[in-house]
Amino acid sequence: MAAPKTAFVLAGGGTKGAFEAGAIRYLVEEAGILPQVLTAASAGAVAAAVMAQARSPREFRLRAQELRQDLLAMTHIDHLFAKQPWVESLDGTPFGRVIDSYLTERTRPAVPGPDLSAILGTPDGRSRWRRAFHLATGSARALRRAPRTRRGLRDNAGSVLTLDPLARALRTGGPTGLLPVDPALIARPGLELRLAVTALGAGLLRYVTEDGTIVEADALTPVAGRGAGPVDVIEGVLASSSVPMVFPPRPLADDVYVDGGVLQNIPVEAAVRLGAERIVAVLAVPLVQLPDRRDFTKLNLMEVFLRTVGAIAFGDRQATNLRYPLPAGASLTVIDPVIDVVGPFEVAPGLMLLDMDYGWLRAADVLAPVDDDVRAEAARATDALVTARTRCWHLEESIWRSGRADWRKKAGVRDLKLAVREALTEREKLGFPTPPDAERWWSAYEVHGGPRPPELSADPSAR
């Protein structure tokens, strides 16, 4: 019997796509599952473009490895995004620092598990009067730059950032090892690609195909007239990734497009319409939003916006996308994170590596041929493992940044390493696999910038 037509559906979520890279590694390299269809949105579109260059099993393995290398090469936000001139004019001012913080640490998820603030301490140890002084001098600098900021806003008011560095990397390679994408390889027969994009003028969902044709929401019918293109597939990737307000819209054919995740963050429907019988949807953002105990009457507008639009509404859209009815005989497997490890604009290699490992483990848990009770036990062990590793990374990062480690931080790291080892042992007892390098998760420190502080022993689990 012929193997079922298989589709990978890759969801959006910014650099949370590291989870997807890990899941793809397991699907291709361990399970030997190869797609004939790739549908994707936003960050998933970047991953899909890399994978769509493959046709043979060997090519898929090489592209899966390349995808992981590309993500780890994105070690600085400047390798992906560029600031609009009006934002750049605020560099070095309090307003500029607020924007920078929202693009990195401020959009990073809360550390899972019990509150660590008592051990981590406050991130800013400056006295109140020094903070007031810096605010006053920084505000003065911002006022001096006001004319330049106004000019920049007049010309580029539609977004905060641009995707120009990523565009260059996709076409010619990036400065830290990002490999270019070849549209000619994508256009070869043997694989169907659909990149979700949202047409601002028409107000509709559309898709860019492997040969650059723009098709309607049914994923099959070319747009009438000039609207069908063809367009550069890389431009389709960039349009699918252009989050409104963060990045500018991109012209394609006779319309202007933004992030496909606005309407279809998990394009299962497109995979069904292309005749896929086995659909594997890989998500980057958890389906279930955890309760947020903050007092939202006291938070700023950006924090309220991120919670409502970026979390609650986004989660509801994902659930709706997954409810698309399947034809008789078709199956849908969902590989999704439960724990939120990284932020949507994450550039910390240690956290991205951790999220990739998490994607590998979740794929192994979901695809294992076991009964539901055993699968649930393995999932609990995986969640405990990832929670411990994530908490450990944050503790270690505070040590790396300060160069100092008190007894509480050392003891916290040691206890978390032991928790990781116990969770790994539990999964192995249940017969679930682990990646080849899993031992280092408890026997070594996570990845951080710079050398290990001298007061830390080489073995983090040692007493």
Mean pLDDT of the chain: 87
More confident position, 312 or 10: 10
Strands 6-10 and 192-199: unpaired
In this predicted structure, the answer to whether residue 146 has a pLDDT above a threshold of 60 is no
Q: Which whole number is the average pLDDT over 145-163? A: 62
Burial zone of 327 (CB within 10 Å; 0-12 exposed, 13-18 middle, 19+ buried) = exposed
C-alpha 111/C-alpha 339 separation (Å) is 10
Report which of 84, 94, 245, 81 is spatially closest to residue 150, judged by C-alpha positions: 84
Q: What confidence score (pLDDT) does residue 133 get? A: 40
Q: What confidence score (pLDDT) does residue 291 get? A: 80
Q: What confidence score (pLDDT) does residue 160 get? A: 83
pLDDT tens digits for range 197-227: 999 999 999 999 999 999 999 999 999 999 9
Average the pLDDT over each of 150-154, 258-262, 323-327, 395-399 and give the range with the smallest value: 150-154
Q: Which whole number is the average pLDDT over 247-267? A: 96
Q: What confidence score (pLDDT) does residue 407 get? A: 87
pLDDT grade, residue 123 (50/70/90)? very low
For residue 37, list its beta bridge partners. Answer: 7, 192
Report which of 413, 335, 397, 391 is spatially closest to residue 368, judged by C-alpha positions: 335
Percent with pLDDT over 90 in the chain: 62
**Three-state secondary structure readout of the chain:** CCCCCEEEEECCCHHHHHHHHHHHHHHHHHCCCCCCEEEEECHHHHHHHHHCCCCCHHHHHHHHHHHHHHHHHCCCHHHCCEECHHHHCCCCCHHHHHHHHHHCHHHCCCCCCCCCHHHHCCCCCCCHHHHHHHHHHHHHHHHHCHHHHHHHHHHCCCCCEECHHHHHHHHHCCCCCCCCCCHHHHCCCCCEEEEEEEECCCCEEEEEECCCCEECCCCCCECCHHHHCCCCHHHHHHHHCCCCCCCCCEEECCEEEEEHHHCCCCCHHHHHHCCCCEEEEECCCCCCCCCCCCCHHHCCHHHHHHHHHHHHHHHHHHHHHHCCCCCCCCEEEEECCCCCCCCCCCCCHHHHHHHHHHHHHHHHHHHCCCCHHHHHHHHHHHHHHHHHHHHHHHHHHHHHHHCCCCHHHHHHHHHHHHHHHHHHHHHHHCCCCCCCCCCHHHHCCCCCCCCCCCCCCCCCCCC
Burial zone of 143 (CB within 10 Å; 0-12 exposed, 13-18 middle, 19+ buried) = exposed
Q: Best-predicted range by mean pLDDT among 81-85, 135-139, 431-435?
A: 431-435
In this predicted structure, the answer to whether residue 33 has a pLDDT above a threshold of 60 is yes
Asked if 167 contacts 234 with a C-beta cutoff of 8 angstroms, the reply is yes
C-alpha 91/C-alpha 89 separation (Å) is 6
Q: What confidence score (pLDDT) does residue 121 get? A: 64
Asked if 267 contacts 194 with a C-beta cutoff of 8 angstroms, the reply is yes
More confident position, 136 or 70: 70
More confident position, 450 or 463: 450
More confident position, 334 or 179: 334
Burial zone of 445 (CB within 10 Å; 0-12 exposed, 13-18 middle, 19+ buried) = buried
In this predicted structure, the answer to whether residue 284 has a pLDDT above a threshold of 90 is yes
Burial zone of 64 (CB within 10 Å; 0-12 exposed, 13-18 middle, 19+ buried) = buried
pLDDT grade, residue 261 (50/70/90)? very high
More confident position, 353 or 107: 353
Q: What confidence score (pLDDT) does residue 315 get? A: 87
Q: What confidence score (pLDDT) does residue 308 get? A: 86
pLDDT tens digits for range 336-367: 999 999 988 878 899 999 999 999 999 999 99
Q: What confidence score (pLDDT) does residue 156 get? A: 58
| Token pair listed for 415 | 């206890």
Average the pLDDT over each of 135-149, 176-190, 354-368, 384-398 and give the range with the smallest value: 135-149
Asked if 460 contacts 445 with a C-beta cutoff of 8 angstroms, the reply is yes
Asked if 276 contacts 84 with a C-beta cutoff of 8 angstroms, the reply is no
User: Rounded to two decimals, what is the model's pTM?
Assistant: 0.89
Q: What confidence score (pLDDT) does residue 75 get? A: 66
In this predicted structure, the answer to whether residue 171 has a pLDDT above a threshold of 60 is yes
What is the CA 165 to chain-centroid distance, rounded? 17
Q: What confidence score (pLDDT) does residue 319 get? A: 94
Phi, psi of 420 (to 5 degrees): -60, -45
Q: What confidence score (pLDDT) does residue 105 get? A: 65
Which contacts (CB < 8 Å, 24+ apart) does range 331-334 have? 331/277, 331/278, 331/279, 332/268, 332/279, 332/281, 333/278, 333/279, 333/280, 333/281, 333/366, 333/367, 334/281, 334/283, 334/287, 334/366
Q: Which whole number is the average pLDDT over 265-278? A: 98
Percent with pLDDT over 70 in the chain: 87
Average the pLDDT over each of 158-172, 188-202, 241-255 and give the range with the smallest value: 158-172
Report which of 402, 441, 396 is spatially closest to residue 419, judged by C-alpha positions: 441
Q: What confidence score (pLDDT) does residue 461 get? A: 78
